[in-house]
Structure 1
Amino acid sequence: MAESLLLVTHGGSFHCDEAFAYAILRRALPPGVLAASTLARTRDPRAMEAADIVWDVGGVFDPLRGRYDHHQRGAPVRPDGTPYSSAGLLWAAYGRDAVRAVLAGRGGEDIVEQVWADMDEQVVRLVDLADNGQRPVPDFGDEGLDRAARIADGMALPYLVDALNLPWDADPADRARAEDERFLRAAEIAGTFLDGRIEQIRARIAAYDAVLEAHGRSTDPRVLELDRGMPWQGPAHDAHLPVLFAVYPDKGGEAWMVGCMPPEPGSFAQKLPLPEAWAGLRDAELARVSGVADAVFCHLNRFIAAARSREGALEMARIALSFAHRTGREGGEH
C-alpha cells in the first residue's frame, strides 16, 4: 500500500505561486504516493495540523514538518534578499525530484542540478517576485515602450493563472467547489509550462556539445554547419565561437535555413545581417538577385533566409560573407 499524504493549501481565489507549487509536488511525489494522496484547499487549522505538506498558508516555514508559508514575519528570503513565495519554497525542497521525474533518466545528477538552477533563476524566482509585488518590468524611459512592456508582462504566467479565478460577481451554486476546479485547471497549465521549460533547458544543455562538435567540422568557422535544427545561438555565444551564420535543415525537411548570429542571446539584432538587396524577396526573384538557383526566401529584416538544398544555403552564407568583406562590415553589428 502506497503512503498516503494530506496536502493542504488555502481555499478561495488563488495565485500563480500556490498553483505552481502544486504542479511541482505532482511531479516530485512518487506516482503511487500521489495517487493515494488528498489535496485539501482550506484554512481550517485542524486540517493544517493533520496535513503532511502545507504551503502558502498557516504562517509557518519549517521544512522538517512540511510547512512552506511565506506570509509571516521572519519568512525566508533568498541569498540576495529577495523574498520567496510558496513556489520558491517548494522548488527548493522538491524541485530536484520534479526535474528527475520529468527528465526520466535523460541525464545524470549534474544535468538535474543545472536544470534546477536555471529553472530557479529563469522561472521560479520571477514567480516569487510577482507574488510579492516585485515584478521586474523594465523602464525604457519611453512611454510607448513602457506601456508595451507592461502589456507583455500582463501575459506572463502569473497573470494567466490569475485569469482562471472566478470573477467577483460569479454566483455558482457551489463557489468553493468551482474555485477548487479552477485551481486544478491552473495547476495543470502551470505544470504543462513547467514540463516544457525543463525540456527546453535540457535540450539547450544537450545542444552545447553538439554545436561545438559541428563547429569543429565546419568548413568556415564563421558558418556553423548543423545536420539538424537545434538551439545554437546560446551555445555559440557561451563558447565564444566566431559564428556569423548557421546553416541547418528546417523541421519539415523541405528547406535549409541560413540563420544570423545575434550580438547577444535573445537579441533581435544580427552581428552581420544578410544582404540588403535580398530583403523580403522570394523564389525566382530572390534566386535572380542572390545568384543562388534554389534560394526561396529572405526575411524582410534579414535575420534568416532559406534555400531548397544544403548547398544552396551554404552558398547564400558564403555570398553574405563576401558582401560584408567587400564593404568592410564583417563582424559588425547592424
Structure 2
Amino acid sequence: MIPAQLPRLVTHSGKFHCDEVFGYAVLRLALGLSRPGEDHVLLRTRKPELIESGDIVFDVGSVYDPQAQRFDHHQIGAPQREDGTPYSAAGLLWQVYGARAVAALLPDAAQGFAAAIAEELNEGLVKRIDEIDNGVSMSGPVLRDSLGLAALIGDYNPSWDSDEANGATAGDAAFLRAADFAAGVLALKVEGKRSRMEADARVLAAYQAGPEPRLLVLETGMPWKSAAFAHELPILFCISPASNGNWMIDTMPPEPGSFAQRLPFPEAWAGLQGEALAAVCGVEDAVFVHVRRFVGAAKSREGALAMAMKMLAQAPARSVAESPAEA
C-alpha cells in the first residue's frame, strides 16, 4: 500500500539513464527529501493511471508543464535551449529546482552564491546531460566517455541475469544507488564552485587593500589566478603562506594555462637557495627561487614582500612575458 499523504515522484520504469537519475537527485535536494517511504514516494512506472497520480512527473508522460509539475521531453514540440539543444528531464527540472538544490548544498554564509553556481552548472554539467540523453549537440558530435557521468550512472543498471533485473521493482534499488552517486557528484561540483567563488571574493578584497597594484598579498593560500584574469588585474606576483611556514612568491602568467610569466624572477636569482640567494637578492631570510624563475619563497611575510618589491622596482626595465617555465 502506497501512503496517500506522501508526495509522489514519478518517472519511468525499466532501464534508467543519467537524466532522470540526476533529476531525481536534484528533486530530493531541492525539496529536502530523504528516502522513499520516509517522506515521499518514488514510482517508476509506465502505467498511465499511476503517472497521472504523480505530484511531480519527470522523463515520462509526454507532457511538459512546469505549473503542473510535468517534466517530460519525449513528445513532439518538447522545449529546447536557446541554442537549439533539446532539454532532457534533467535540464527541465534544473530550470525549476536547480538553484534550490544548490542552495541546499551550501552553508548559510554561502547562500549568495547559489544562483551563480546553478547557472554555471546549467551551462556545463546539466547541458552536457541534455546533449548525451538526446544525442544532439550544437557544438559538434556527441562523444560518449566510458568514465563520464552518464556512462557511470548507466553502469548502475542491473545486469540482465541478476535478480534485481526482474520483477515488479526491477532496477528500483539500483536507481536509488545511482541517485546517491549523482547527488554526491553534484555536491562535489557545488563545493568546488563555492570554493572558487569564495576565493575570488577574498582575492578581490585583498587586492583592493594591497600595498601595490602589481602585488597581491593573501593571508592564506587559495586559488587566485582565475580572479586576476577575470577582473584583468595587473598582478605580477602573489604572496601567500605555505603549509611548511614559508611565504611563497608566485608569478602571474600572461594568460590562463601559460607556463610563462608576466615578470619572472631575476635571472641572477634562478636556482639559488638559502645564504647564496640571500647574498644576491639582499633579503636575509630568502629560501629559494626555482631555476625556471616562476616561484620563490622566504621564511617570513616581510621577507617575501621585500623580495617582491625588489623585483617590482626592476619591472619597467624588464620584459613581463618572458622565460617559459615548467613545474
Residues 172 and 156 (structure 1), Cα distance of their counterparts in 2 relative to 1, 3 Å cut: closer
Which of the numbers 235, 252, 260 marks the counterpart of 2:227? 235
Instruction: Indicate how the Cα distance of structure 1 residues 247 and 12 shifts in structure 2: closer, same or farther if over 3 A, else same.
Output: farther
**TM-score for the superposition, normalised by structure 2:** 0.78
**Deviation of the 1:159 alpha carbon:** 2.9
State yes or no: 1:87 paired with 2:90.
yes
1:158 aligns with 2:131: no
Structure 2: how far apart are the matches of 1:17 and 1:278? 57
Q: TM-score, normalised by structure 1?
A: 0.77
How high is the sequence identity, in percent, across the aligned residues?
A: 39
Unaligned runs of 5+ in 1: 140-149
Which one has the bigger helix percentage? Answer: 1
1:152-191 matches, within 5 Å, as: 154-167=146-159, 170-176=160-166, 179-191=171-183
Q: CA 1:330–1:92 in 2, change beyond 3 Å: closer, same or farther? A: same
Q: Structure 2, unaligned stretches of length 5 or more?
A: none
30 and 248 in structure 1: CA distance in 2 versus 1, 3 angstrom threshold: same
RMSD of equivalent CA atoms: 3.8
3-state SS in 2 of match to 1:227: coil
Alignment-derived partner of residue 272 in structure 1? 262
Say if 2:188 is the partner of 1:196: yes
Of 84-93 and 215-224, more deviation after overlay is shown by: 215-224
Q: Which amino acid aligns with 2:55?
A: D
Give the superposition deviation at 1:241.
0.9
CA-to-aligned-CA distance 1:10-52 (integer Å, 9 cap, x gap): 2333222222111111111134897420112222323212111
TM-fit CA distance, 1:308: 4.4
Q: Identify which of 38, 52, 77 aligns with 2:55.
A: 52
Whether 1:22 aligns to 2:24 is yes
1:73-104 Cα offsets, whole Å, 9 max, x none, are 11101122221111111111111221222224
- Whether the 8 Å CA contact 2:263–2:320 is kept in 1: the answer is no
Match in the other structure for 2:252: 261
Distance 1:219 1:104, change over 3 A: closer
Correspondences of 1:1-334 after superposition (within 5 Å) = 4-31=6-33, 35-107=38-110, 111-134=113-136, 154-167=146-159, 170-176=160-166, 179-250=171-242, 252=243, 254-265=245-256, 267-272=257-262, 274-275=264-265, 293-295=285-287, 298=290, 304-314=295-305, 317-318=308-309, 328-331=318-321, 334=324
Question: 1:61 touches 1:75 (CA, 8 Å); kept in 2?
Answer: yes
Deviation of 1:218 after TM superposition, in Å, equals 2.4
The number of aligned residues is 316
